[in-house]
A and B are shown apart, each in its own frame.
Chain A
Amino acid sequence: MDYVVLGAGPAGVIAAETLRRMDRGGRVTLVGDEPEAPYSRMAIPYLLAETVEEEGTHLRHGAGHYDARQIELRQDRAAGIDVADARVRLEGGESLAYDKLLIATGSRPTRPPIPGMDLPGIESCWTLEDARRIIAGTREGARVVLMGAGFIGCIVLEALARRKVELTVVEMAPRMLARMMDDVGGDMIERWCEARGVAVKTGTRVEAIERNDDVLTLKLGEAGELEADLVVCATGVQPNLELLEGSGVETEFGILVDARLATNVENIHAAGDVAQGPDFSTGARAVHAIQPTASEHGRIAALNMAGRETAYRGSLSMNVLNTLGLISSSFGLWEGAEGGERAVAADREGFKYLRLEFRDDVLVGALALGLTQHVGVIRGLVQTGVRLGAWKDRLLRDPHQVMHAYLERARSRP
């Protein structure tokens, strides 16, 4: 059996390892397009913050990890798929025959259509190569403007702040983390950042960027101008779908896959950031570009590719973030379920916030700020759909009882 895995991020690597475990005799080829050992983008902020070296970003550490598993690593990029011949065309000129193909090509950063966005000194923060350029361009005291205060923007914010640069964040949306935090949480994070010397401009649009003598000028319309030595753009990502042209593989925002991570085309599966698969909370299909989804997708896609029928219950949208020491997390339907109920405990000055969302007596989503202990039980409660019974009313009065509710409802009555 010839297995070809396109993409050497977490989904691709975990899939390749799982394929090897399931099928000792099969041939496993893992194609990645970066000139690096497979690494984790999630670790890049820690490289910028200088808490790890480059090797610390690698997904696997043992020397010869892939050789030992007879996983053939190839540096190339897929140009297209010939479904009729079951072959992948590589940009390097060769082609690979497959019996089972996994597309785990991930996503890439996008830039807003603004004049000047392609000037030197404007970087994305996505690859190791990006990180090297940002490190070279951020001496202590350098003026850095970060465009975008979404989840990725805020991770980058933390890393840049640790590099002791003079940092300004510009975000188009009216609050930071518009897709993982509500107004209350977004406001707390913004005030927290401001108090720690980061200038935050929400509800502000960059209209153009110009460059003169190594200095970048960002035109902010009514909000004036900003000068910068470096601009880091973290305004969004999009799935890498170009290789699918002419393949007949169905896409929407990402590649549409079923509960077996299979596409509509026989013998082709997709996993990770590029896949639009079952969403645990809604039952619809969604792209959840997060590490736990990549890991689960990679494993379950590989099980199915190797002939072990395995259905996925769907990915749970969730995130955890450290913004200059303020830890926030979000789970599932944190905006609430129709006809559901909400429990809120907010200490705006103490920077503590907990919001729980219920449907009937089941927890379906949550937001937390300043909570680091036992936060995983929120996932446990959401994903098991445990009925909270009388504990729901207690939680409506005091959401901080969530661990107690979990112990009483979930652990003692499995």
Chain B
Amino acid sequence: MLKSLLIDPEKCTSCLQCEMACSFEHEGAFNPAKSRIKVFEFEHGRRAIPYTCTQCAEAWCLHACPVEALSRNTETGAVELDEAICVGCKVCTIACPFGTINYNADSGKVAKCDLCGGDPQCAEACPTGAITYVDANWTGLERMKQWAVKTDSQAPNQSPGA
């Protein structure tokens, strides 16, 4: 059964444990600036939204990559980067309309959420249940899909610029 990250901003206290865990898992150091999940604060910290890749079906990043460095992990459903293939051209970073694949100047490559191979450390670290890893049917995936359709480049019956 495919699982997805379920994010409930109402429960987020902006403690940044998710960013710490993510950067430690992927970069080997506690460095929120390098985290692939980001917590955005609103109203001077009174409200916060954790935000990362939804592994969308459209996979804009994957289709835009000129050298096939991105591919879908069929077991986890995550779109994963092969760092050895990525040349660092950054086309995926402007192609992804969700802004969830980003350039890392230190590595000269891009980075995105890979669901930690099926054991996402952000969900593991979240103390309030704002980030959980659950059966994909529960995650409001339908809502995400509707959004993906809206941004789709192949939307029939819509005039350009609509």
The interface residues of chain B lying within 8 Å CB-to-CB of A296 are 63, 153-154
The 27 listed contacts between A and B (C-beta, < 8 Å) are A14-B63, A42-B66, A42-B87, A51-B88, A57-B87, A60-B68, A61-B67, A282-B160, A292-B64, A312-B153, A313-B154, A314-B161, A319-B94, A320-B90, A322-B90, A327-B90, A327-B105, A374-B38, A379-B95, A379-B96, A379-B97, A383-B97, A383-B151, A384-B150, A403-B99, A404-B40, A411-B51
The interface residues of chain A lying within 8 Å CB-to-CB of B85 are 56, 61
Query: Residue A281 at the B interface, CB < 8 A?
Result: yes
Knowing A43-B66, A60-B68, A61-B85, say if A372 contacts B93 (CB, 8 Å): yes
Q: Is the CB of A376 within 8 A of B96?
A: yes
Query: Residue A375 at the B interface, CB < 8 A?
Result: yes
Beta-carbon contacts under 8 Å, B21-79 to A: 38, 40, 42, 49, 51, 60, 63-64, 66-68
Q: Is the CB of B40 within 8 A of A379?
A: no
Beta-carbon contacts under 8 Å, B119-162 to A: 143-144, 146-147, 150-162
Query: Residue A75 at the B interface, CB < 8 A?
Result: no
CA distance A46 to B100 in the complex (A): 24
Query: Residue A143 at the B interface, CB < 8 A?
Result: no
Q: Is the CB of A407 within 8 A of B51?
A: yes
Q: Is the CB of B154 within 8 A of A311?
A: yes
Kindly name the residue among B42, B89, B143, B153 whose own CB sees the greatest number of chain A CB atoms within 10 A.
B153
CA distance A52 to B89 in the complex (A): 12
The interface residues of chain A lying within 8 Å CB-to-CB of B162 are 313, 385
Knowing A295-B63, A311-B155, A375-B94, say if A281 contacts B99 (CB, 8 Å): no
The interface residues of chain A lying within 8 Å CB-to-CB of B150 are 384, 414
6 additional A-B pairs beyond A57-B67, A407-B51, beta carbons within 8 Å, are A43-B67, A300-B153, A300-B154, A312-B153, A376-B60, A376-B94
Shortest beta-carbon distance from B37 to chain A in Å: 12
Cβ 8 A contact of B103, one of A327, A384, A414: A327
CA distance A295 to B63 in the complex (A): 7
CA distance A320 to B99 in the complex (A): 14
Knowing A61-B68, A299-B63, say if A374 contacts B153 (CB, 8 Å): no
Shortest beta-carbon distance from B10 to chain A in Å: 11
State the majority secondary structure of interface residues on B. loop
Give the contact-size bracket for chain A.
Answer: 35 or more
Shortest beta-carbon distance from B61 to chain A in Å: 8
CA distance A242 to B60 in the complex (A): 33
Cβ 8 A contact of A46, one of B88, B91, B143, B153: B88
Q: Is the CB of A374 within 8 A of B64?
A: no
Interface string of A119-158 (1 = CB under 8 A from B): 0000000000000000000000000000000000000000
Kindly name the residue among A292, A331, A376, A380 whose own CB sees the greatest number of chain B CB atoms within 10 A.
A376
The interface residues of chain A lying within 8 Å CB-to-CB of B102 are 372-375
CA distance A385 to B150 in the complex (A): 9
Interface positions of B (Cβ within 8 A of A): 38, 40, 42, 49, 51, 60, 63-64, 66-68, 85, 87-91, 93-103, 105, 108, 143-144, 146-147, 150-162
Q: Nearest CB to that of A410 among chain B residues? A: B147
The interface residues of chain B lying within 8 Å CB-to-CB of A403 are 40, 99
Q: Is the CB of A376 within 8 A of B91?
A: no
Query: Residue A329 at the B interface, CB < 8 A?
Result: yes
Q: Nearest CB to that of B91 among chain A residues? A: A291
Cβ 8 A contact of B161, one of A56, A281, A292: A281
Q: Is the CB of A325 within 8 A of B105?
A: yes
CA distance A407 to B66 in the complex (A): 29
Q: Nearest CB to that of A40 among chain B residues? A: B66
Q: Is the CB of A377 within 8 A of B99?
A: yes
Knowing A46-B88, A60-B68, A403-B40, say if A283 contacts B147 (CB, 8 Å): no
Query: Residue A408 at the B interface, CB < 8 A?
Result: yes
Q: Is the CB of A311 within 8 A of B156?
A: yes
Shortest beta-carbon distance from A77 to chain B in Å: 22
Q: Is the CB of A384 within 8 A of B154?
A: no
Cβ 8 A contact of A52, one of B87, B143, B159: B87
The interface residues of chain A lying within 8 Å CB-to-CB of B147 are 410-411, 414
Q: Nearest CB to that of B87 among chain A residues? A: A46
Knowing A51-B108, A310-B156, A312-B153, say if A377 contacts B88 (CB, 8 Å): no
Q: Is the CB of B97 within 8 A of A320?
A: no
Cβ 8 A contact of A314, one of B49, B144, B160: B160
The interface residues of chain B lying within 8 Å CB-to-CB of A291 are 64, 66, 89, 91
Query: Residue A66 at the B interface, CB < 8 A?
Result: no
The interface residues of chain B lying within 8 Å CB-to-CB of A396 are none
CA distance A374 to B97 in the complex (A): 9
Query: Residue A103 at the B interface, CB < 8 A?
Result: no
Query: Residue A387 at the B interface, CB < 8 A?
Result: no
The interface residues of chain B lying within 8 Å CB-to-CB of A59 are 66-68
The interface residues of chain B lying within 8 Å CB-to-CB of A310 are 154, 156
Query: Residue A399 at the B interface, CB < 8 A?
Result: no
Cβ 8 A contact of A407, one of B49, B89, B101: B49
Knowing A46-B88, A283-B159, say if A380 contacts B64 (CB, 8 Å): no
Q: Nearest CB to that of B150 among chain A residues? A: A384
